[in-house]
Structure 1
Amino acid sequence: MNALTGMWQNVPAASRDDLAGARRRLLDGMQARPALTTSRRRVVTAPRLLVAAGVAAAAVTAPLVAGGGTPAYAVTENPDGTITVALNEMRDPEGLRADLLTAGVTADVSFLAPHTRCADSRFEGADPSYGSRGHTEAQLRKGVEQWRSFAATQVVDVREIRIRPEFIRPGETLVLEFRDNQDARRPWRLGAWLAKAGSPVKPCTPVADAG
């Protein structure tokens, strides 16, 4: 399978064993769900661990909903060092990038239209999860335990992701690609990778993707 396709995810992962099982279904994606939203929210701190993670910069925006009164996203720094991002609407990627940077994570985020993805070779991956080389299911299963890109970002709720900065080394960029899934119950799919330190991330050029 293509590595880019293999990294798309969208269903909450409760434990590493659950994550390993979920990764085997990555071609079908893991689930996520949005809420109506309109404005952006700045970084806040939480008294308790919430559920999710960060996001940032972009090339294409594809709003899932229009109007409403809740923020497009919220970035929360949790007491355990993780970062939660609740993504309610796919817009304002630059605001997300800035808020993640404030939270200590250098990130690049793209919001994509349905059935598209960013063209390959945008950056040099920090591990084998990114690239044009296809991976077998067995390789992906093993990668869940060994590749930091899998551990650094996890979808944990229908509209939330959790970022774990301890898996991101100095100089690396967290690359996030959100794709409109055209499903109110599963609003977006996420591709997440780590760009190697010193490797600039090229702007996203959307291309057709059947997956």
Structure 2
Amino acid sequence: MTRFRQALLDELQSRVVADPVPAKARHRLTRPRLAFGGALVAAAAAIATVLATSGGGGPAYAVTKEKDGTLAVAVNRPGDPGDANRELAVAVDDKVKILRPSAPEDCPVEDRGTRMKALPDTVWVRLGEASASVTRVRVRPESLPDGVVVVLVALTPLDGGKPAVQLDFYKAPGPKCVVAPTR
């Protein structure tokens, strides 16, 4: 080390020993950092809560036409079926609908449609996932005779699990609303 560097080092060391940084100044520097860090954690928690409760950014219902001509409808989460019903209307001429259940007082009897008791053997509908709640349904549109409408009722799970689908067949034009099933 040169004499100049040594002299500079000695002078700096003497100034630090003579005038050290007070302890309070150190705390003032860390409190804003802690507050900022806490704010970031709170913001991240709020965003995670919103995403978890809203179901994320994906669609509530996914409608896909498969290579074999079947139409697959998946319920990702209960929500507004408007977009999915518009896709279904184009794909299968209003032969498949998704409805959300209503309270009896919000669904007049004349809007509930006529449920079919027996179906022709030609109807091909397959429920997906062999689990307690069905979330995917496949329909072969050409198997549906004129005058038959498949109604998928998207049910909200009571236990916070996956949504479920209730499947019913109606005489065309189908119901405008359905009453929530009693559990």
Unaligned 5+ runs, structure 1: 1-37, 39-63, 130-146
**Could you tell me which of 89, 92, 100 is aligned with 2:77?**
89
Q: Which moved more, 1:98-107 or 1:81-90?
A: 98-107
Structure having greater relative contact order (Cα 8 Å, sep ≥ 6): 1
Residues 110, 177 of structure 1: 8 Å contact kept: yes
**Could you tell me which of 137, 145, 150 is aligned with 1:161?**
137
Q: CA deviation at 1:78?
A: 0.9
Partner of 2:174: 201
Q: CA deviation at 1:169?
A: 1.5
2:55 & 2:126 partners in 1: Cα distance? 28
1:152 & 1:119 partners in 2: Cα distance? 30
Unaligned 5+ runs, structure 2: 1-50
User: What is the correspondence of 1:41-52 to structure 2 with a 5 Å cutoff?
Assistant: none
Q: CA deviation at 1:168?
A: 0.8
Q: CA deviation at 1:68?
A: 1.2
2:137 & 2:154 partners in 1: Cα distance? 11
Residues 119, 205 of structure 1: 8 Å contact kept: no
Residues 71, 140 of structure 2: 8 Å contact kept: yes
Residues 101, 178 of structure 2: 8 Å contact kept: no
Q: Which moved more, 1:163-172 or 1:79-88?
A: 163-172
Partner of 1:192: 168
Q: CA deviation at 1:67?
A: 4.2
Q: CA deviation at 1:177?
A: 1.9
Return the TM-score normalized by structure 1: 0.47
| Matched residue SS, 1:74 | strand
Q: Which moved more, 1:148-157 or 1:94-103?
A: 148-157
**Could you tell me which of 86, 100, 112 is aligned with 1:111?**
100
Return the TM-score normalized by structure 2: 0.53
Q: CA deviation at 1:91?
A: 1.5
Partner of 1:27: none
Question: Per-residue CA shift, 1:113-147, capped at 9, x if unaligned?
Answer: 79xxx77672234x424xxxxxxxxxxxxxxxxx3
| Matched residue SS, 1:103 | helix
Residues 105, 165 of structure 1: 8 Å contact kept: no
Residues 149, 193 of structure 1: 8 Å contact kept: no
User: What is the correspondence of 1:1-211 to structure 2 with a 5 Å cutoff?
Assistant: 65-106=53-94, 107-112=96-101, 122-125=112-115, 127-129=116-118, 147-148=119-120, 151-157=123-129, 158-195=134-171, 199-204=172-177, 206=179, 209-211=181-183
User: Could you say what the CA RMSD is over the residues aligned between the two structures, in angstroms?
Assistant: 3.7
Kindly tell me the number of residue pairs found equivalent between the two proteins: 127
1:97 & 1:111 partners in 2: Cα distance? 12
2:114 & 2:55 partners in 1: Cα distance? 38
Identity rate of aligned residues, in percent?
Answer: 27
Partner of 2:7: none
> Of the two, which has the highest radius of gyration?
2
2:53 & 2:123 partners in 1: Cα distance? 30
